[in-house]
Amino acid sequence: DAKTTQPTSMDCAEGRAANLPCNHSTISGNEYVYWYRQIHSQGPQYIIHGLKNNETNEMASLIITEDRKSSTLILPHATLRDTAVYYCIVNAGNMLTFGGGTRLMVKP
């Protein structure tokens, strides 16, 4: 699986949009981009995934660049409960390989 690069940490004001970037320049054509988050002391939670089109669900939006070498997870209105570590993973249908993730701190 291709490796990903994410900032170690980010802050976001409550109620504002949180934009979490991810670089995956070596992604293969059949690899999806997955986003998970891990709230303290819990197991990782699935957020969203996509192949090349932008995706949106009740939790977030995923924007994938046309060359697929990077993506951005958008939490449109961050709340304090969105404070977590966010993992960007590229995957071709086998097991997930986790990188370091981005620690998002939502502040009041």
Partner 1 sequence: SAVISQKPSRDICQRGTSLTIQCQVDSQVTMMFWYRQQPGQSLTLIATANQGSEATYESGFVIDKFPISRPNLTFSTLTVSNMSPEDSSIYLCSVEDQDVEGYTFGSGTRLTVV
Q: Which residues bind partner 1 (CB under 8 A)?
A: 34, 36, 41-46, 49, 87, 95-101
Closest contact distance (angstroms) between CB of 94 and partner 1 is 8
Centre a 10 Å sphere on the Cβ of residue 5 and count the other Cβ atoms it contains. 13
DSSP per-residue codes, 19-44: EEEEE-TT--TTPEEEEEEE-TTS--
Residue nearer to partner 1 on the CB measure, 76 or 100: 100
Tell me whether residue 42 or residue 108 sits nearer to partner 1 (CB atom): 42
Q: Report residue 81 as tokens.
A: 């409960």
CA distance 29 to 76: 28
Least separation, in Å, of the C-beta of 66 and partner 1?
23
Question: Least CB distance from residue 29 to partner 1, whole Å?
Answer: 18
